[in-house]
């Protein structure tokens, strides 16, 4: 007589665990955008120079992106919940210190410490999720997780505008404290511990090379708009990035205990899903950069109104992200990812076609389309990336996912910012004053209609070109997603590891490296 088949035991606190992970993820991704509206107040109150302002903004991203792989690797070895707890403590403590500092240098250091905290807490959010949920429920959980990541990015300007309008600039940091405290309590009580049982000794050389290369690469794309793509600083940083990453690849190929098994990069689904993440965040971050200026400088919105003006994006993401995994199960992840990015490209094209009307209507229409497209594409792409790996190596997929998305976002702001600036200047009259040539804000400060009129027209052209570049990137993401992720298998539909997925470790020579998400944007 055949014994009855019982369904696998599910973790009893899995949905509460997901709530804690999403709360942790939300504050980390929120920090990417919540600071933007407070910058003018920071500059005024702390008397920041242009260089100091740049470092206040960039210190978090540089440290966060540079340490993702290393932090994820340590979390795999020592415990993913321990990494989450350490990240929350560092992030929350540095946030409180940043809120009450009165010196630029201290604020920059605090932002760097927040980046360290973010790098440790992010790996846990996705890698713990993969271990807590089974194949059946994992796609739904990843959909909620993906929506939370995107909502954190979209909600930043809204929350930042509210706080700066009613309180002082430090409130954009202080607001993290109660959320971190709640997440810490939840993590201690509800989140189970997990680690790589075959973890080998740390790859110190690999960690140092990866951190150096990624920091240099991120600095290159952040610094290029300010210093010029062919400036000595940017070319030097590019050379360091290339040299360090090349040395990292060479080291990982020959060391007995690699931090990252390079076979992962030859996995079609893994590489395709990572490419989709880069292109998606490139388009979103670059678009946000341009639309923030459009809302405040062209439509005359206050910081709070500008933040609320992005609400359609957040609403659309929140509505579509949770249902995207169910769609992927029915028609395939590649089709859903491609459809989402095509919708995003259509929304960006709509924005580009209508921004010259100087009306909020294109932001409303295009924003809904962009948000719906992002919410549709993000979760299936993340599920495909995680599903291409053995379950015990969830961290490495999460880490590379986060690193690639962080680079995509930085590239989006840098490249589209450069396009916006170059096209704007090229369409100004030859006799435009220096202030007007610097930016539209400078032109408006002149107050002369003979200057502001041509400057607004030049900005309209520049924004249209930038949005079209973002639309092309979203279209490229749709093509990559369709070609790399369209294979229908049970594993690809559920997010379970694919048959024959490469292992990052074999026996004593096991490669250990698992890490964090951005879900932020």
**What pLDDT shows up at residue 186?**
85
- Given a cut of 80, is residue 200 above it in pLDDT? no
457 is in which domain, residue-wise?
14-203+255-509
Do 347 and 451 share a domain, yes or no? yes
> Mean pLDDT, the chain, as a whole number?
76
User: Residue 361, exposed/middle/buried by CB under 10 A (0-12, 13-18, 19+)?
Assistant: exposed
User: Residue 44, exposed/middle/buried by CB under 10 A (0-12, 13-18, 19+)?
Assistant: exposed
Work out the pLDDT band at 396, boundaries 50, 70, 90.
Answer: low
- The whole-number average pLDDT for the span 393-399 is 63
Do 242 and 375 share a domain, yes or no? no
Do 172 and 229 share a domain, yes or no? no
Q: At 234, phi and psi to the nearest 5? A: -70, -40
Half-sphere exposure of 360 (CA within 13 A, CB side): 14
Do 430 and 347 share a domain, yes or no? yes
- Angle at which helix 449-485 crosses helix 394-426, to 10 degrees, equals 150
Do 189 and 241 share a domain, yes or no? no
- Taking alpha carbons only, the member of 394, 323, 328 closest to residue 143 is 323
Burial 199-224 (b: 16+ CB within 10 A, else e): bbebbeebbebbbbbbbbbbbbbbbb
Work out the pLDDT band at 519, boundaries 50, 70, 90.
Answer: very low
**What pLDDT shows up at residue 521?**
33
**Between these two residues, 204 and 146, which has the higher pLDDT value?**
204
- Taking alpha carbons only, the member of 202, 278, 188, 316 closest to residue 484 is 278
Task: Tell me, yes or no, whether 323 lies in a domain.
Answer: yes
Burial 396-405 (b: 16+ CB within 10 A, else e): bbbbbbbbbb
- Taking alpha carbons only, the member of 163, 164, 165, 169 closest to residue 43 is 169
- The whole-number average pLDDT for the span 341-368 is 85
| 162-171, 313-322, 455-464, 485-494: the lowest-pLDDT one | 485-494
Task: Tell me, yes or no, whether 514 lies in a domain.
Answer: no
Task: Tell me, yes or no, whether 4 lies in a domain.
Answer: no
Do 212 and 333 share a domain, yes or no? no
- Given a cut of 70, is residue 6 above it in pLDDT? no
**What pLDDT shows up at residue 288?**
75
pLDDT tens string 40-73: 777 777 877 766 776 777 778 778 877 877 787 7
**What pLDDT shows up at residue 497?**
41
- Taking alpha carbons only, the member of 414, 382, 411 closest to residue 398 is 382
Do 241 and 317 share a domain, yes or no? no
128's tokens: 């713990």
Do 191 and 171 share a domain, yes or no? yes
Task: Tell me, yes or no, whether 480 lies in a domain.
Answer: yes
The DSSP symbol for 143 reads H
**What pLDDT shows up at residue 394?**
60
Work out the pLDDT band at 461, boundaries 50, 70, 90.
Answer: confident
Do 211 and 340 share a domain, yes or no? no
Do 123 and 25 share a domain, yes or no? yes
What is the rounded CA–CA span in Å between residue 295 and residue 426?
Answer: 22
Task: Tell me, yes or no, whether 473 lies in a domain.
Answer: yes
| Number of other residues whose CB lies within 10 A of the CB of residue 241 | 20
Task: Tell me, yes or no, whether 153 lies in a domain.
Answer: yes
| 8-17, 55-64, 162-171, 444-453: the lowest-pLDDT one | 8-17
Q: Domains in the chain: how many in total?
A: 2
Q: Tokens 């809204």 sit at which residue?
A: 158
Work out the pLDDT band at 345, boundaries 50, 70, 90.
Answer: very high
Q: How far apart are the first and last CA of the chain?
A: 55
User: Residue 504, exposed/middle/buried by CB under 10 A (0-12, 13-18, 19+)?
Assistant: buried
Task: Tell me, yes or no, whether 517 lies in a domain.
Answer: no
Do 167 and 69 share a domain, yes or no? yes
Do 346 and 445 share a domain, yes or no? yes
The CATH number for 481's domain is: 1.20.1250.20
Task: Tell me, yes or no, whether 414 lies in a domain.
Answer: yes
Which pTM was predicted?
A: 0.71
């Amino acid at each position: 007589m055949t014994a009855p088949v019982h369904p696998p035991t599910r973790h009893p606190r899995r949905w509460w665990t997901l709530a804690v992970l999403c709360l942790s993820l939300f504050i980390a991704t929120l920090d990417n955008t919540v600071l933007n509206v407070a910058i003018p107040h920071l500059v005024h109150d702390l008397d920041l120079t242009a260089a100091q302002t740049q470092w206040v903004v960039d210190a978090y991203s540089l440290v966060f992106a540079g340490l993702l792989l290393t932090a994820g690797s340590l979390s795999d070895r020592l415990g993913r919940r321990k990494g989450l707890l350490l990240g929350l403590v560092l992030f929350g403590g540095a946030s409180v210190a940043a809120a009450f500092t009165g010196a630029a240098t201290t604020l920059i250091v605090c932002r760097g410490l927040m980046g360290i905290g973010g790098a440790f807490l992010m790996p846990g959010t996705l890698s713990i999720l993969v271990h807590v949920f089974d194949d059946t429920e994992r796609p739904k959980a990843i959909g909620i997780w993906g929506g939370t990541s995107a909502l954190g990015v979209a909600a930043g300007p809204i929350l930042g505008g509210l706080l700066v309008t009613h309180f002082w600039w430090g409130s954009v940091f202080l607001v993290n404290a109660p959320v971190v405290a709640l997440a810490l309590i939840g993590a201690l009580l509800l989140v189970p511990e997990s680690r790589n049982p075959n973890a080998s000794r740390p790859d110190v050389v690999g960690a140092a090379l990866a951190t150096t290369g990624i920091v240099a690469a991120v600095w290159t794309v952040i610094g290029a708009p300010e210093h010029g793509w062919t400036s000595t600083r940017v070319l030097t940083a590019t050379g360091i990035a290339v040299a360090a990453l090349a040395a990292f690849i060479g080291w990982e190929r020959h060391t007995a205990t690699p931090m990252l098994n390079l076979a992962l990069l030859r996995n079609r689904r893994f590489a395709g899903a990572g490419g989709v993440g880069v292109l998606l965040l490139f388009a979103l971050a670059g678009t946000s950069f341009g639309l923030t200026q459009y809302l405040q400088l062209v439509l005359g919105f206050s910081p709070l109104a500008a933040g609320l003006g992005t609400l359609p994006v957040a609403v659309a993401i929140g509505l579509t992200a949770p249902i995207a995994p169910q769609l992927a199960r029915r028609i395939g992840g590649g089709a859903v990812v491609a459809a989402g990015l095509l919708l995003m490209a259509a929304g960006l094209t709509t924005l580009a076609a209508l921004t010259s009307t100087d009306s909020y209507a294109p932001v409303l229409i295009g924003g809904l389309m962009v948000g719906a497209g992002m919410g549709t594409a993000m979760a299936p792409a993340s599920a495909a990336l995680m599903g291409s790996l053995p379950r015990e190596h969830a961290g490495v997929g999460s880490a590379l996912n986060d690193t690639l998305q962080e680079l995509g976002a930085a590239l989006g702001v840098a490249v589209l910012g450069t396009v916006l600036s170059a096209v704007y200047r090229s369409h100004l009259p030859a006799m435009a004053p220096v202030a007007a040539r610097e930016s539209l804000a400078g032109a408006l400060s002149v107050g002369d209609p003979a200057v502001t009129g041509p400057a607004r027209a030049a900005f309209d052209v520049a924004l249209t070109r930038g949005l079209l570049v973002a639309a092309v990137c979203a279209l490229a993401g749709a093509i990559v997603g369709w070609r790399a992720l369209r294979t229908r298998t049970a594993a690809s539909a559920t997010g379970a590891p694919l048959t024959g997925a490469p292992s990052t470790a074999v026996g004593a020579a096991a490669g250990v490296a698992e890490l964090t998400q951005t879900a932020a944007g």
